[in-house]
Amino acid sequence: MENTILVKNFLEDTGAIDLQIRLVAGGSGLSREIRIGDINRPGLTLAGFYDFFAYDRIQIFGLGESAYLRQLSDDDKREVLTKFFSFDVLCCVFTHDEEPDSLFLEFADRKGVPVFVTRKDTTRFISSLIYLLNEAFAPTITMHGTFVDVYGIGVLLIGRSGVGKSECALELVERGHRFIADDVVLIKRVDESILMGGGSPLLKHHMEIRGLGIINVKDIFGIRSVRDRKRVELVVILEEWVQNKEYDRLGLEEQTYPILDIDVPSIMVPVRPGRNIPIIVETAALNQRLKKLGIFTARELDRTIQENLMRGKNIK
Amino acid sequence: MTEREVVVKSDAGVHARPAMMIVKEAMKYPCEVKLIKDDVEADCKSIMSVLGLAIVSGSRLVVRASGDGEAKVVEMIVTMIENNFRSHEESSQKN
């Protein structure tokens, strides 16, 4: 899916990160589309070097650019801005609360190029902006599964419908874990190794339980039982117990499940009546935490046994 | 794999009841059934998944199934959507 975002989205709620910006000119261009998640510092361009001018990116005017514009004579400034705005510039942001002068605003208004001013300093602003752009342009996939935060590990339960994913999540919520999404899990690759999962805004905190219908987990169990997003760290594949199928008995090898080209640690849990799946998921999450700390139980036991065997051999 | 495209004409779109009808129909068959809208796939056997697509009047959908009974289930769901979920409601009223 190709992502595009509109310039005006920056004025709206940007979630946890506030860009602290206000629009000062070029309101007519607010519906322009941002297609690239990169930015440009136009210092060299203003000074006359127009090769490689990435006009289709967000232009960041820091203290340097503002000072350069300020020291130009009116005629020179008019010349520089005429050239600058002859390109189809996407939008401009002035940092450090440095509002551009009226000539700049006039050019921007005429060309419909949105101009923003932020109270943040350049480095902070760029890091916030890059974070938001990365999020917006991150590859996304919708998965059929149930997503729960178990002891701080984001556990994605997948399996055929009717295998008991939602019931398992409900039991986990009852045990104090936090529910994120049921059935429709939106997963974003926000970094080369990080997958973030959340629910669809429409279905937020709702869950379907056969026999009960649709319930709202937040209303029933309270605010502490839900969260909006979490890193996907473990995939639990639930499947009906198949007689004679080989299931992992040792856990020596680490299984993975690929999501958006990232291999996420996974376990396959066979389900049959009477088997307490939530406690298996809880234990799997705790085991995953141990593995993150470098403690690999199955391998350690194996090593101890091997050492013991070696010792026994030497005594003989 | 069988798939067919269908446009939703029902004014109210696919709200809870029509979604349930689709899910009920899909549940009758052992095969995997998907409903696709704008590249977003939903599992036809999950009511939340179908509701999550936010299908409004005019939405273009693809019904895709693979496995036992795939042709039949695609046919049934497409007909249901084309008939604006009406014939099924009527037949259930008669029962």
B36 in contact with A at a CB cutoff of 8 Å?
no
- Interface pTM, i.e. ipTM: 0.73
Tell me which chain B residues have a C-beta less than 8 angstroms from the C-beta of A139.
Answer: none
Among A153, A152, A198, A148, smallest CA distance to A173 is for: A148
CB pair distance less than 8 Å for A202 and B48? no
Euclidean distance between CA atoms A265 and B79, whole angstroms: 42
- The SS3 assignment for A300 reads helix
- pLDDT of A46 strictly over 70: yes
**Residues A259, A235 contacting (CB under 8 angstroms):** yes
Annotated catalytic residue within A13, A74, A75, A249:
A249
Position A248 pLDDT exceeds 90:
no
Closest chain B CA to residue A141: B40
Q: Which residues of B touch A143 (CB under 8 A)?
A: none
Average pLDDT over residues A155-179: 92
pLDDT at A3: 64
Cβ of A161 within 8 Å of Cβ of B46? The answer is yes
B95 band by pLDDT with thresholds 50, 70 and 90: very low
Of these residues, A165, A188, A189, A229, which one is catalytic?
A165
CA distances from A229 to A169, A226, A294 (A): 15, 9, 26
Task: For residue A73, count CB atoms less than 10 angstroms from its CB and return exposed for 0-12, middle for 13-18, buried for 19 or more.
Answer: exposed
Of A9, A301, A8, A285, residue with least CA distance to A151: A285
CA gap A188, A232 in Å, rounded: 10
What is the share, in percent, of chain A residues with pLDDT greater than 70?
A: 96
- DSSP string covering A232-299, please? --EEEEEEE--TT----SS--SPEEEEETTEEEEEEEEEE-TT--HHHHHHHHHHHHHHHHTT--HHH
Q: Is B28 on the interface with A (CB under 8 A)?
A: no
pLDDT of residue A150 exceeding 50, the answer is yes
Residue range B33-78, pLDDT digits in tens: 999 988 888 888 888 889 888 888 888 999 999 988 899 999 999 9
Contact A214 B39 (CB under 8 A): no
Q: Based on the residue annotation, tell me whether B15 is a catalytic residue of this protein.
A: yes
Model-wide pTM > 0.90: no
DSSP B18-81: HHHHHHHHHHTSSSEEEEEETTEEEETT-HHHHHHT---TT-EEEEEEESTTHHHHHHHHHHHH
Closest partner residue to B52 (CB to CB) among A161, A162, A202 is A202
Residues of A in contact with B41 (CB under 8 A): 142, 144
